[in-house]
């Protein structure tokens, strides 16, 4: 090529091949997923409630099986939730909170393994696997037999390349896209390796994207498990059973909802109240406390839900005679303008708490 | 061709043998493992100074674990709602009767009502102090998953052993003897 040609003709735009398109789309997908993850994580970092939720989701319930404390209702999970709430309230940093939990329980308490020591192998294994696949592709492509190379270069019916055109032909073969494509065409093992490599990349990218897009980042209830409509129907059914005195059937309905969505405030509230009442009936402190855990969770997740405040307040007064906290919950209940039917149904118990505190029950209007 | 077939057979044989060996090794591991209910388990606290443990006693008063320095201490986490804690308390009572090395016992009533926790201890015949931990924050600092769990603390205040589940009095006596033999007493 002459010097003038080089100057007058700018460098040609790289040819768009299928393989280049594939790598480009994969790169765009990966960058997009990382961007979404970054945006989501910065969104959840704001606000104490969301910070608590994020921390609870990053800590594993030590007495459960593979679920975070956010989704768990065990005593140990309750302790960790209390600890996180207190520490966030005291403005302690996330790193210190997690470090303290790791100091007590070890790194196994974290939902994501740490990126140091032996655990680093877990993080880097996909990279190592990818590198192995790429190396294997490269190595296998180098192993192509010269006969196959030559046969690929010959069009049907054409002559074998002459020694004079050999340099051009070889340079074409060395072009990676042509080389790999031809290797894939003639080598069944190569097809398999390419298929595995391609599928692994696609599945990995899809998983990353799915994890980023669909991982729960805030304590919303609608996005998880069964539809809100179905959950509401089951809760209503449970309430009807409870009114008929069929506590076991009612608990079964609420449990169905909670299995699918552990943060459904209605189900948490009524499950908690039924457990508490069962505890009172059977003189079981364990059941009463279990009920209180559910109720406190409901109040935390749905601070504007009057039923949760009412039952939590009554249960607190009934369990520990904690008059001040109980009264505070009942005041929250009245602040949320509860339905008259609910106030009437619990009027005796509400009056007992207000009487003990020397205060008048607020009028509903 | 014949050579290829024999190579493939050898590879297959090797793969099957390796899988079989792994399965046998796993079965042996599972069969010889002590039940999860009583196990001496690792804890990040082992070899470290015991977490600050101070709180109101069931039945009145206050206790700090630091005040017991100079003696080995068994710190036992329990709750009145925990079924296997009944067995745990019975074994601790037997241990306290059999033990002659001056090992102290402190119970921590985890996530429980004070009255229920105290009744539970009294009905088991326990006479040692029990600290109230209604919100489970002491248990959290010790990394307790769920009661019953017991920790042996050296005279110098370091955590030596963690046992999950209801340990027998004999196991506890052996642990104390081992700790003393290693110079923790």
DSSP chain B: -HHHHHHHHHHHHHHHHHHHHHHHHHHHHHHHSPPTTSEE---TTTTSBPPP-EEEBTTS-EEEGGGGTTS-EEEEEE-TT-THHHHHHHHHHHHHHH--S--EEEEEEESS-HHHHHHHHHHHT--S-EEEETTSHHHHHTT--SSSEEEEE-TTSBEEEEEES---HHHHHHHHHHHHHTT--
What pLDDT is attached to residue A153? 57
Calculate what percentage of chain B has a pLDDT beyond 90. 51
Question: ∠ at Cα A180 (A174, A184), nearest 5°?
Answer: 140
Which residue from B minimizes the CA distance to A62?
A: B145
Q: Do A104 and B44 touch (CB under 8 A)?
A: yes
| B142-171 per-position pLDDT tens digit | 999 889 999 999 999 999 999 988 889 998
More confident: A166 or B125: B125
Which residue from A minimizes the CA distance to B45?
A: A104
Q: Which residues of chain A make contact with B113, given a CB cutoff of 8 A?
A: 285, 288-289, 319-320
Are the beta carbons of A102 and B137 closer than 8 angstroms? no
Q: Do B139 and A79 touch (CB under 8 A)?
A: yes
What pLDDT is attached to residue A218? 36
| B85-97 per-position pLDDT tens digit | 999 999 999 999 9
Report the pLDDT averaged over residues B126-155.
Answer: 93
Distance in angstroms (rounded) separating the CA atoms of residues A358 and A228: 41
Question: How far B100 CA lies from chain A's nearest CA (Å)?
Answer: 31
Question: How far A78 CA lies from chain B's nearest CA (Å)?
Answer: 8
Q: Do A78 and B111 touch (CB under 8 A)?
A: yes
Find the CB nearest A285 among B80, B142, B144: B80
Q: Which residues of chain A make contact with B135, given a CB cutoff of 8 A?
A: 79, 82
Q: Do A76 and B43 touch (CB under 8 A)?
A: no
Find the CB nearest B141 among A102, A104, A285: A104
Q: Do B111 and A104 touch (CB under 8 A)?
A: no
- Each residue's pLDDT tens digit in chain A (365 positions)? 454 555 555 556 667 777 777 788 878 887 887 787 666 555 544 578 888 989 999 999 988 878 899 888 888 888 899 899 889 888 899 989 999 999 999 888 888 765 555 556 666 666 677 777 777 666 666 665 555 556 555 555 555 444 444 444 444 444 545 555 555 555 666 666 666 666 676 677 666 656 555 544 333 333 345 677 778 888 888 888 888 788 888 888 888 888 777 788 888 999 899 988 888 888 877 788 888 888 888 888 888 888 999 999 999 888 777 788 889 999 999 988 888 888 888 888 899 999 988 998 887 65
Q: Do B137 and A79 touch (CB under 8 A)?
A: yes
Closest residue by Cα to residue B92 from B114, B67, B75: B75
What pLDDT is attached to residue A97? 93
Give me the residues paired with residue B162 across strands: B151
pLDDT at B118 over 80: yes
Q: Which residues of chain B make contact with A288, given a CB cutoff of 8 A?
A: 113
Question: How far B98 CA lies from chain A's nearest CA (Å)?
Answer: 31
Find the CB nearest B143 among A104, A286, A288: A104
Q: Which of A56, A67, A76, A283 to mutate to test the interface with B (most CBs of B within 10 A)?
A: A76
Q: Do B80 and A286 touch (CB under 8 A)?
A: yes
Would you place residue B32 in the very low, low, confident or very high pLDDT band (cuts 50, 70, 90)?
Answer: low
More confident: A304 or B34: A304
Question: How far A41 CA lies from chain B's nearest CA (Å)?
Answer: 27
Would you place residue B6 in the very low, low, confident or very high pLDDT band (cuts 50, 70, 90)?
Answer: confident
Question: CB distance from B144 to chain A under 8 Å?
Answer: yes
Distance in angstroms (rounded) separating the CA atoms of residues B94 and B166: 13
Collect all residues from A whose CB is shorter than 8 A from any CB in B.
62-63, 74-76, 78-80, 82-83, 101-106, 109, 284-286, 288-289, 319-320
Q: Report CA-CA distances (Å) from A237 to A253, A260, A267, A273, B133.
A: 7, 16, 11, 16, 38
Find the CB nearest B145 among A62, A101, A285: A62
Question: CB distance from B60 to chain A under 8 Å?
Answer: no
Question: How far A75 CA lies from chain B's nearest CA (Å)?
Answer: 7
Long-range contacts of A179-185 (CB under 8 A, 24+ apart): A179/A141, A179/A144, A180/A19, A180/A137, A180/A141, A181/A19, A182/A144, A182/A148, A182/A149, A182/A152, A183/A140, A183/A141, A183/A144, A185/A152
Report the pLDDT averaged over residues B107-127.
Answer: 91
Closest residue by Cα to residue A338 from A357, A315, A311: A311
Q: Which residues of chain B make contact with A103, given a CB cutoff of 8 A?
A: 44-45
Which residue from B minimizes the CA distance to A107?
A: B44
Q: Which of A61, A66, A75 to mutate to test the interface with B (most CBs of B within 10 A)?
A: A75
What pLDDT is attached to residue A141? 63
Find the CB nearest B81 among A82, A105, A289: A289
Are the beta carbons of A184 and A191 closer than 8 angstroms? yes
What pLDDT is attached to residue A167? 43
């Amino acid at each position: 090529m002459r010097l003038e040609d080089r100057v007058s003709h700018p460098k040609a735009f790289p040819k768009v091949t299928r393989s280049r398109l594939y790598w480009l789309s994969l790169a765009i997908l990966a960058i997009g997923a990382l961007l979404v993850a970054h945006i989501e994580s910065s969104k959840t970092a704001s606000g104490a409630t969301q910070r608590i939720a994020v921390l609870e989701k990053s800590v594993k319930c030590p007495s459960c099986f593979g679920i975070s404390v956010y989704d768990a209702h065990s005593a140990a999970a309750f302790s960790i939730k209390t600890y996180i709430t207190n520490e966030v309230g005291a403005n302690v940093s996330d790193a210190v909170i997690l470090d303290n939990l790791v100091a007590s329980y070890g790194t196994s308490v974290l939902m994501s393994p740490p990126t140091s020591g032996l655990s680093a192998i877990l993080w880097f294994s996909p990279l190592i696997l990818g590198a192995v696949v790429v190396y294997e592709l490269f190595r296998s492509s180098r192993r192509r037999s010269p006969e196959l190379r030559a046969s690929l270069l010959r069009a049907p019916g054409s002559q074998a390349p002459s020694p004079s055109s050999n340099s051009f032909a070889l340079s074409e073969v060395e072009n990676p896209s042509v080389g790999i494509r031809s290797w894939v065409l003639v080598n069944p093992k190569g097809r398999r390796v390419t298929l595995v490599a391609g599928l692994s990349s696609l599945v990995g990218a899809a998983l990353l994207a799915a994890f980023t897009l669909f991982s729960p980042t805030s304590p919303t209830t609608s996005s998880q498990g069964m539809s809100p409509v179905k959950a509401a129907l089951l809760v209503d059914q449970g309430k009807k059973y409870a009114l008929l005195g069929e506590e076991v059937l009612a608990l079964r309905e609420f449990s169905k909802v909670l299995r699918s969505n552990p943060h459904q405030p209605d189900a948490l509230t009524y499950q908690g109240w039924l457990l508490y009442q069962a505890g009172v009936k059977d003189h079981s402190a364990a059941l009463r406390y279990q009920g209180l855990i559910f109720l406190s969770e409901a109040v935390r997740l749905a601070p504007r839900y009057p039923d949760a405040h009412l039952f939590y307040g009554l249960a607190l007064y009934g369990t520990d005679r904690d008059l001040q906290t109980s009264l505070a919950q009942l005041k929250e209940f009245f602040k949320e303008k509860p339905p008259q039917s609910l106030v009437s149904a619990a009027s005796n118990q509400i009056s007992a708490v207000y009487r003990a505190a020397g205060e008048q029950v607020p009028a509903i209007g | 061709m014949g050579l290829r077939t024999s190579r493939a057979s050898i590879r297959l044989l090797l793969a099957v043998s390796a899988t079989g060996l792994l399965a046998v090794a796993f079965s042996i591991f599972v069969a010889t493992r002590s039940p999860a209910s009583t196990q001496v388990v690792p804890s990040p606290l082992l070899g470290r100074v015991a977490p600050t443990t101070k709180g109101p006693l069931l039945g009145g008063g206050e206790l700090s674990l630091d005040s017991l320095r100079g003696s080995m201490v068994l710190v036992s986490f329990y709750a009145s709602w925990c079924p296997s804690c009944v067995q745990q308390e019975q074994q601790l009572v037997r241990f306290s009767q059999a033990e002659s090395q001056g090992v102290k016992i402190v119970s921590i009533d985890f996530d429980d009502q004070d009255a229920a926790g105290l009744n539970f201890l009294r009905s088991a015949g326990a006479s040692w102090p029990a600290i109230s931990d209604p919100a489970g924050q002491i248990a959290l600092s010790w990394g307790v998953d769920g009661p019953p769990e017991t920790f042996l603390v050296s005279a110098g205040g370091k955590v030596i052993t963690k046992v999950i589940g209801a340990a027998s009095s004999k196991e506890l006596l052996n642990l104390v003897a081992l700790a003393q033999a290693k110079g923790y007493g």
